[in-house]
Amino acid sequence: MAYLWMLGVLAVMILLLGRAVEVDITQGERLRERLLLQVGGEYRRAIESYVQAPGGNGQYPRKLEDLLQDPRFPVAVRHLRRLRPDPETGGEWALLRGPDGALVGVASNSARAPHKRTGFDTADADFEGKPTLAEWRFIYQAGAPAPVQPLPATGSPAKSAVAF
């Protein structure tokens, strides 16, 4: 009888431990989503700074490294302190490109469904109801939005490019 009682207690403990692990995983995913919003926003603001730079003629960067050291100026002009990885995957960002191939934004390569569905800041209002984190696109477009022109993805998924 004591043996059955111990098995019952052990089963309950395993169930509780499983639930605790599930809660911990969910909290980690929510934290990575907040970091994704923060870091993606930093990239969006850096691209905006690049485009709006005096004497920059409204050009967009060609690559992420241009945000670290703006090649249009003879002196060091930095729009971003350092390149940060995609918080969700730990890897490289999907680069979002305009019709001319210029870098207009970044997106995660994660296909995971987000926990956050509503309550986004104005800049991220488009993210409401998106089924995957990869659809949270951190884009800066000066003036009128450019037409969407899909490009075929080339290279590894971590280095894919999506046109806007």
- Give per-residue pLDDT as tens, 107-150: 999 999 999 999 999 999 999 999 999 999 999 988 744 444 44
How far apart (Å, rounded) are the C-alpha atoms in residues 90 and 110? 10
Is residue 46 in some structural domain?
no
pLDDT class of 161 with cuts at 50, 70, 90: low
73 CB-near residues (< 8 Å, 6+ apart):
53, 55, 56
Is residue 58 in some structural domain?
no
Is residue 73 in some structural domain?
no
Q: Are 151 and 97 in contact (CB under 8 A)?
A: yes
Is residue 11 in some structural domain?
yes
- Give per-residue pLDDT as tens, 71-88: 999 998 999 999 999 999
Is residue 52 in some structural domain?
no
Instruction: Please tell me the predicted confidence (pLDDT) of residue 139.
Output: 96
User: Is the backbone of residue 101 left (phi > 0), alpha (psi -120 to 50) or beta?
Assistant: left
Q: Are 93 and 86 in contact (CB under 8 A)?
A: yes
Helix (H) or strand (E) holding 3: helix 2-52
Is residue 59 in some structural domain?
no
- Give per-residue pLDDT as tens, 47-65: 999 999 998 889 999 999 9
How far apart (Å, rounded) are the C-alpha atoms in residues 15 and 1? 21
The whole domain housing 24 covers 2-40+81-163
- Give per-residue pLDDT as tens, 10-46: 777 777 666 766 666 678 889 999 999 999 999 999 9
Instruction: Please tell me the predicted confidence (pLDDT) of residue 116.
Output: 92
State how many domains the chain has: 1
Is residue 154 in some structural domain?
yes
How far apart (Å, rounded) are the C-alpha atoms in residues 16 and 71? 56
